[in-house]
Amino acid sequence: MRNQRALILIIAVTAVLFLSNILNFTVSTNRFNESYPAVVCPPNTSGLSTAISLTSPNTLARKTGSTSMKSTEVGFRRYAVAAQSAVIESGKVTPLVWQVRKGVWAGAIACSAPASSQWFVGASADITAKGSLHIVNSGLGRALVEVTVFTENGELAPRSVSIRANSYTSLSLASLAPGSKKIAISLLPRAGRINGFLIDERGKGLTSLGGDLINPTKEATTKLQIPAIPQQVGRGGTTPHTLRLLVPGDVDARISAEIRSTDGTFAPVGITDRVIAHKKVIELPMDITMAAGKFALHITSDQPILGSVFSPTNAQGKRDFVWSTAAQDLTEFTMATTGLAPILVFTGRDVRVTLELTFTNGKSRKIKVAEEDIATFKVPDSVRSIAFTGISKGTSGAALIASKSGYGYVPLNPGSELTKSSVPASNIRVLNP
């Protein structure tokens, strides 16, 4: 009798546990929507020409400044924008923009999705300044953005800028911080889909001193990697570089720096152990005696810091300058390079990256890059896109592009990241504290 009871109990417990665990009663999991937000490219203003490298002519795009929200196929792999800003649904591909004031300067930037915060470290607002800050609102509602300029004297009062739906506005740098030689700009969107683009264009009278597009940084970090600083050697020796730094927090930062190049790794003179005053734009000269090439600068700080390096360049006989900005750790993404042949520079302790080059004829080739400290790769002309995969930890990269009009620099950051958003589910619980 007792055995029978035991048997019944064992069977019952086992059956219940078995049934309740293996039966597939579906508990609804939350639904998520994954998408790559459309990327926004810098507007084309008067006198400039803008070409956007895409991977496919079927890429959908629309322009700001119109009431039509319909995206159409661009029809080319290199999309020339005559006016306004292009909003491109390029999926996981990051289009590259090559902007040129013909014969005067050139600059490169990646089209990017609207950001919640952007920092620009570079440009000048002094008497030579001819540059401007373009703020694009790619949304259909009015946008509000807070612009804060930092100068060598400190932080200026923030300025709120309202931008109509699907349009852009340009702010002259000279009007933002009149007379300031060294500036850094923070863009903080309060409402709307906002992208900022900063053009540093300088001239002395009618003489042009060059120009560049300054790539933005999302946020200040304690570890700064500027992967590609062009080192050119002219008749007068090596071109001097200038490191511009900003500590946006409320505490001064103590920094240390390291240069990594094909010649080796060394600490630049006068930078390591420097204390950088907070909220002031500080410039430190970097005279690097080194053979021509590219080098990377790694800065570590005890406080979040922003920085970029200003380098005068001479590309194909044209004097220009380039702002090498910080790059985040390289992640897997694809960059469209149609019409451009950038030199890719990777830096890190142990650089390992697999490049998948897709050529205009549709063929592709994989190249494995493996070096210590720094590695460069010249992308062939016929490549329309480069996919970065198999990336080792701590590696970052940038692309340098040279043309007759000037020199351009783009950090290898994805312009559009896969966004995972929860699909809202109806639940009255939201109305309960």
Partner 1 sequence: MSTQRVSAILVVHDGSTWLPEVVTSLATQTRGPDRIIAVDTGSVDTSAKLLKGARIPTISLDREIGFGEAISFAVGQLPPTSDSQNEWIWVLHDDCAFAKDALENLLSTVSERPNVAMAGPKLLGWHDRTHLLEVGISLATNGARWTGLEQAEYDQGQRDGVHEVLAVSTAGALIRRDVYEELGGFDKNLELFRDDVDFGWRARVAGHSVIVVTDAVGYHAQAAASERRTVDVKGALLHRPLLLDRRNAAYVLLANASMWALPVLSLQLLAGALFRSVGYLFAKLPGYASDELLAILTLIIHPTELLAARRARKKSRFISGAAVKAFIPSRFQQIRSSVARAFDSLRESIIPDREVTVVNSALEINEDEDLLTPSSQRSWLALFTRPIIAMASALVVITLLWSRNRLGSISGGALAMAPESAQDLFKLYIASWHDIGMGSGLSTPVWVPIIGVASFLTFGNVAAFISLFFLLAPLALLFAAHRYLKSFTSNSWLAAGAALLYALSPVAISAVNSGRLGLLLFLILLPFTLPLFKNWAEIHTWTVRRLSAIALLAGLLAAFNPSVILVLLGIIAYSTTRDFIAANKNFKDALFLQRATRYVTLLLAPFLLLAPASFEVFIRPHLLISEIGFTVAGGGPNLAILGNPGGPGSLPWWSISPITVVLLVTYFSSTAARKFATPGVIFLLSGALVSALVISGNGSSSTTRASAGVFLAVATLFAIAAAVIMFDKIKSRLEQSHVNYRHISIAFVLLLTVGYTATSTFWLATAGSDSPVRTTQTQILPAFLAIEKGAKTVVIRPYRQKGEQTLSYYISRGREVTLGEPDIAPRDTAIISRAIEGLVDNTGVTSSNILSTYGIKYVFLKNPVSQDVVQTIDGLGGFTRTSATEAGIVWKVLKDTGRVKFTNYSGREYVLESKGVRTFVPAPGSLMLTETYSDSWQVFQNGYRLAKVEDSNGLPTFGVTEAGEISIIHDGRARRAWISFFIIALVTLTVLALPGGRRKAEISDKEIS
Q: In the bound complex, what is the minimum distance in angstroms from residue 356's beta carbon to partner 1?
A: 28
- CA 12 vs CA 1, 4, 16: distances in Å: 16, 12, 6
Q: In the bound complex, what is the minimum distance in angstroms from residue 217's beta carbon to partner 1?
A: 17
The residue among 27 and 206 lying less far from partner 1, judged by its C-beta, is 27
144: Cα separation from own chain's centroid: 22
Q: Within 10 Å of residue 140's Cβ, how many Cβ atoms?
A: 12
CA–CA separation, 367 and 369 (whole Å): 6
The residue among 70 and 363 lying less far from partner 1, judged by its C-beta, is 70
Q: In the bound complex, what is the minimum distance in angstroms from residue 11's beta carbon to partner 1?
A: 11
Question: Which H/E stretch holds residue 330?
Answer: none
| Footprint of partner 1 (CB under 8 A) | 2, 5-6, 9, 12-13, 16-17, 19-21, 23, 25-28, 30, 32-33, 35, 37, 69, 114, 116, 138-144, 165, 189-193, 419, 421-433
Q: In the bound complex, what is the minimum distance in angstroms from residue 248's beta carbon to partner 1?
A: 19
Q: In the bound complex, what is the minimum distance in angstroms from residue 57's beta carbon to partner 1?
A: 24
Q: In the bound complex, what is the minimum distance in angstroms from residue 92's beta carbon to partner 1?
A: 16
The residue among 162 and 172 lying less far from partner 1, judged by its C-beta, is 162
The residue among 93 and 183 lying less far from partner 1, judged by its C-beta, is 93
Report DSSP letters for 225-277, one per residue: EEEEEEE-EETTEEPPEEEEEEB-SSS-EEEEEEEEETTEEEPPTTTTTEEEP
- CA 302 vs CA 36, 39, 217: distances in Å: 34, 34, 19
CA–CA separation, 126 and 177 (whole Å): 8
Q: Cβ(374)–Cβ(261) under 8 Å?
A: yes
Report DSSP letters for 72-117, one per residue: EE--SSEEEE-SB-EEEE-TTEE-EEEEEETTTEEEEEE-B---S-
99: Cα separation from own chain's centroid: 16
Q: In the bound complex, what is the minimum distance in angstroms from residue 5's beta carbon to partner 1?
A: 7
The residue among 143 and 226 lying less far from partner 1, judged by its C-beta, is 143
The residue among 58 and 421 lying less far from partner 1, judged by its C-beta, is 421
The residue among 115 and 387 lying less far from partner 1, judged by its C-beta, is 115
CA–CA separation, 334 and 356 (whole Å): 9
CA–CA separation, 68 and 62 (whole Å): 8
The residue among 338 and 413 lying less far from partner 1, judged by its C-beta, is 413
Q: Cβ(98)–Cβ(338) under 8 Å?
A: no
Q: In the bound complex, what is the minimum distance in angstroms from residue 283's beta carbon to partner 1?
A: 32
Instruction: State the DSSP code for 129.
Output: B
The residue among 292 and 418 lying less far from partner 1, judged by its C-beta, is 418
> Which residues have CB under 8 Å from 367's CB, separation 6+?
354, 355, 356, 357, 377
> Which residues have CB under 8 Å from 196's CB, separation 6+?
118, 120, 133, 134, 135, 136, 145, 185, 187, 216
Q: In the bound complex, what is the minimum distance in angstroms from residue 424's beta carbon to partner 1?
A: 4
The residue among 163 and 226 lying less far from partner 1, judged by its C-beta, is 163
Q: In the bound complex, what is the minimum distance in angstroms from residue 30's beta carbon to partner 1?
A: 4
Strand 274-276 versus strand 364-378 pairing type: unpaired
